[in-house]
Amino acid sequence: MSLTDFRGELFRPGDPGYPAAREIFNTRTAGATPALIARAKDAADVLTLVRHAAERGSPLAVRAGGHGVDGTAMPDGALVADLTGLTRIEVDPATGRATLGAGVLLGQMDAALVEHGLVVPSGTVSSTGIAGLTLGGGIGYQMRRYGATVDSLLSAEVITADGRVVTASPTEHPDLFWALRGGGGNFGVVTELTFEAHPVPREVAAGFIPFPLDQAPGVLAGLRDRLAGLPRELAVVGALTACPPLPPVPPELHGAPVLMLVVVYSGAANRTDGVVGALAGLGRPAAVAVAPVPWPAANRMLDVIAPPGRRYYSKGGYLATLDDEVIDIVVRHTAAAPPPASPPLPSTVQNLWAMGGAISDDHAEDATAFSREGTRWLWETVTEWDDPADDATFTGWLDGVRADLKPHLRSNGYVNLTTDDGPGWRRGVWGSPAKYARLVTAKTEWDPHNMFRHNKNITPQP
């Protein structure tokens, strides 16, 4: 199969469009030189590419939203299937089903769904791709109410390594469907995803409650102790970071380290004051900047602190509980964090995501490859800067936080919100040894020659 059948655009090094086609979110991982970036027009083009790679025994990298934390969308010397042109969005309000092309970004999905009062639970930065996010699991502001993104996935169209187009669903190739829901891009190229969407108010209460850092231990402990009683419609993330210059915050706190509760409440409007008041009452906040906003705006309020084109490094892991020692470690490292490289953008954000609710309690661990067992909190820390000369400062700081937290982190985790930690880590991140064995079986069945190896890779059996 030659690429003469390919109807999309092809970019090789030296072509005028190549530098733009090669761009991905994180410049720290964006220096590689893929051999050929093939921007598909449709699924037929992706099929052509897969068959082309298969005939040559060549690996195939996949680029959807380009947000992957390891930069595996654009590896050196690779043939890249660029899915950014697959932007079809179809919403059926009668059935509540949404079918999305693999190039759709979260902001585009939210905008199309909210027209119908619907949401697919996903992530918190609007330029992230729905494809890569879903294949890893998908967590965000609706997870306590509706579960992870994978919990709403009904089916996927997949181009397999042996050049077939298949549907994976509970009734068609259920082993593949199970593995896709968390196992990443290991099993084929997903060209289309169909979800069950859920009701969401057009307007939700969203914003920030910042506390000076000396109050952080008490506020986090209070949040931990009350989490079980908080409504599922409430999403709350404890973000330890430099305080942005928000108008209601006193100027002396701008740029100082704070605990910022990031809040989205999508329950009944008449309960908002009570819910927000309970969070504010955990300490003496510098401000309470939570207000009614359209749901898509709430789901992109963090865009401003995560612009594309910076150098990013991130680590994450699951915590069974937010014990006092964990709180002490994150607060201590926040106080010692390198100062922002380009204020007012922060350079370090330690997020403590409150889980519980639907994502933790409504879905069995073995129902999906995505693992959630035994976790009530997700720790995720992102560092961002611009100058390569600062790499060691920021990666070194984060590696130090991770080293101190390691005894507290569970062996299972969420693959999408952390850089790859190697084969030993991968054997545990999806949960039990039996789950990993099931993933290896699926990999061996669907991609025996490891065509799809530019990812958090599961090695097929020889």
Residues found near ligand FAD in the complex (CB under 6 A): 25, 62-69, 72-73, 83, 102, 123-125, 128-129, 131-133, 135-136, 138-140, 184-185, 189-190, 306, 416-417, 454-455
Other residues' Cβ atoms within 10 Å of the Cβ of residue 177: 24
Q: How far is the CB of 304 from ligand FAD (least distance, A)?
A: 11
Q: How far is the CB of 192 from ligand FAD (least distance, A)?
A: 9
Q: Between 128 and 215, whose beta carbon lies closer to ligand FAD?
A: 128
**For ligand FAD, which is the closer residue by CB, 185 or 285?**
185
Rounded to a whole number of angstroms, the minimum distance from the CB of residue 69 to ligand FAD is: 5
Position of minimal CB gap to ligand FAD: 132
Query: Closest approach of Cβ 277 to ligand FAD, in Å?
Result: 26
Residue whose CB is less far from ligand FAD, 134 or 334: 134
Q: Kindly state the smallest distance separating residue 51's Cβ from ligand FAD, in Å.
A: 16
Residue closer to ligand FAD by CB (options 58, 256) is 58
- Of 68 and 210, nearer to ligand FAD (C-beta) is 68
Burial letters 418-447, b for 16+ CB under 10 A, else e:
bbeeeeebbebbbbeeebbebbbebbebbb
Are 368 and 178 contacting, i.e. CB atoms less than 8 angstroms apart? yes
Q: Are 341 and 393 in contact (CB under 8 A)?
A: no
Q: Where are the alpha helices (DSSP H) in 188-231?
A: 216-226
Q: Which two tokens stand for residue 213?
A: 């850092």
Task: Measure the CA angle with vertex 80, ends 124 and 103; round to 5°.
Answer: 35
| Residues 245 and 289: beta-carbon distance below 8 Å | no
Three-state DSSP class for residue 389: helix
Euclidean distance between CA atoms 373 and 411, whole angstroms: 10
CB of 251 to ligand FAD, least distance (A): 28
What's the CA gap between 419 and 143, in Å, rounded? 22
Structure tokens given for 46: 């992706």
In the bound state with ligand FAD, the residue whose beta carbon lies nearer, of 359 and 405, is 359
